Amino acid sequence: MTPTDQATLSVRSTADLLAAVPFLLGFHPADSVVVIALRANRIVFVARGDLPDFLTAPPPSAGGAGEAAARGPGETAARGPGETAARGPGETAGGPGEAAAQLAAVVARQGVETVTIVGYGPPARVTPVIDAVTGALGRFGLPVLDALRVTGDRYWSYVCADPGCCPPEGTRFDASASQFAAAATFAGQVALPDRETLVRQVSPVDGPAREAMRQATRRAESRLQKLLDRAAPADPRGRRALRRAGRSAVRIAMLRHRTGGRLTDDELAWLSLLLVHLPTRDEAWQRTGGEDWQLALWTDVLRRSEPDLVAAPATLLCFAAWRAGQGALASVAVERALEAQPDYSLALLLAETLRAGIPPSTLDGWDAPDRSRQEVLRAR
């Protein structure tokens, strides 16, 4: 489903809200803080950070891409918007205060009116983060409707002091048994067991499939060398030949997936080699939105490409997921890109886009030939 056709579902209680969070993120959070932001009583943005990012200061090499995405005004759905982490690639966290300020800034730039905070984990870890995030949001003038801690199958409110509705032993709930969860599942929404399950969905193929792709890539390399050897004298470096081949490979791939098909090993290996050529990568980027078949295409290319060729397809999957409002998928995809090539400029741009919480609607209706997508995103 895309952001324009996701089902609108109602949240009528705290239990409903907690049942909604896994569908909003796409997976069940753990050891996390989640900020749910509203405008006109509609959820328009969801941000998530890992508790360790707030409570520790890991070395720069541990830094991961932030995760964030947002819906357009007035949209509420049971999946996405996504998530946000407190830091970007290579950044360190300076304790709850600094991390909370970064998270609050991302939420505030969405133009929301109120927020609810949910912390997942034991009180010793959750409470200082809830306090820090509440204070940081207050400095942006954002009222906190409620702040909750979820530990096991119970939740506690940091705002409500009435033991009649918020008992000191916590309130038991079963998110899987809620009417919201049933309605979201019926509407086709998915909440994976955890973030690692999402990571595995974009992990490299192995076994016979990997060996088949190694052989296909070797054949593609020979094919590419022949293409360059046959380049016309007027095209000494074969740039025009590469551009033509890349445009053709991208169009074939998109037509195949748009019509429900899948690339052969040789076709995919050929495309993965050509995507190293930036004009081919940009051709694919300009044709990529957030449709389901595009997510399937770039996921397949990412998983089957050889390890040294994954930066481009991983970045294209990140962009497609961001456009679809699937911030968590966008984040794991850009992590794959930067693991493969830490200085890949488009991946760095999209990682910053996610970390800053720039909404996918930024590119809605974009048709200015004098401005590239890079320029539009950097301007934000």
How many domains does the structure of the chain reveal?
Answer: 2
Q: Is residue 7 part of a domain?
A: no
The Cβ-side half-sphere exposure at 228, using a 13 Å CA radius, reads: 9
Which of 194, 217, 244 marks a domain boundary?
A: 194
Same domain, 182 and 234: no
- The pLDDT of residue 146 is 95
Residue 320 inside a domain? The answer is yes
- Does residue 6 lie within any of the structural domains? no
pLDDT band at 359, cuts 50/70/90?
Answer: confident
Domain final position from 170, 194, 218: 194
Tell me which residue of 83, 70, 68, 84 sits closest to 3, measured CA to CA.
Answer: 70
pLDDT for the residue numbered 3: 37
84 located within any domain: yes
Across the range 332-361, mean pLDDT stands at 93
Q: What is the pLDDT of residues 241-287, one digit of tens each?
A: 899 999 999 999 999 999 999 999 999 999 999 999 999 999 999 99
Q: Is the predicted pLDDT of residue 2 greater than 60, yes or no? A: no
pLDDT of residue 152: 92
The pLDDT mean for the chain works out to 83
CA angle 161, 165, 166 (to 5 degrees): 50
77 dihedral zone (left: phi>0; alpha: psi -120 to 50; beta): beta
Q: Both 44 and 189 in a single domain?
A: yes
State how far the Cα of 47 lies from the Cα of 282, in Å rounded to an integer.
29
Asked if residue 174 and residue 122 are part of one domain, the reply reads: yes
Bigger pLDDT: 139 vs 363:
139
Based on the fold, state whether residues 183 and 205 are members of the same structural domain: no
Share of the chain above pLDDT 70, in %: 80
Domain around 330: 201-379
Residues 25 and 43 in one domain: yes
pLDDT(307) > 80: yes
Residue 2 forms part of a structural domain: no
| b/e 125-156 (16+ beta carbons within 10 angstroms → b) | bbbbbbbbbbebbeeeebebebbbbbeeeebb
Same domain? For 93 and 181 the reply is yes
368 lies in the same domain as 272? yes
4, part of any domain: no
Residue 11 confidence class, pLDDT cut points 50, 70, 90:
confident
Query: Which one is predicted more confidently, 28 or 75?
Result: 28
Per-residue pLDDT, 340: 96
**Three-class DSSP labels, 150-173:** EECCEEEECCCCCCCCCCCCCEEC
pLDDT of residue 9: 65
Q: Which of 151, 173, 194 is where one domain is finished?
A: 194
Average pLDDT over residues 350-368: 79
What does the alpha-carbon distance between residue 296 and residue 314 come to, in Å, rounded to a whole number? 12
Contact 144, 138 (CB under 8 A): yes
Share of the chain above pLDDT 90, in %: 60
Is residue 128 classed as helix, strand or coil in its secondary structure?
A: helix
Find the range with the poorest average confidence among 2-11, 139-148, 214-223, 304-313: 2-11
Residues 189 and 230 in one domain: no
The DSSP output letter for 305 is S
pLDDT band at residue 125 under the 50/70/90 scheme: very high
Do 26 and 169 fall into the same domain? yes
What whole-number distance in Å separates Cα of residue 97 and Cα of residue 7? Answer: 36
User: Is residue 92 assigned to a domain?
Assistant: yes
- Under the banding of pLDDT at 50, 70 and 90, the label for residue 16 is confident
Residues 165 and 217 in one domain: no
Asked which of 81-85, 173-177, 293-297 is least confident by mean pLDDT, the reply is: 81-85
Sheet holding 144-151, edge to edge: 42-50, 32-39, 114-120, 144-151, 154-157, 171-172
**Judgement on whether residues 135 and 231 belong to the same structural domain of the protein:** no
Residue 9 placed within a domain = no
Q: Which has the higher per-residue pLDDT, 375 or 229?
A: 229
* Whether residue 185 sits in one domain with residue 212: no
| Average pLDDT of span 166-176 | 89
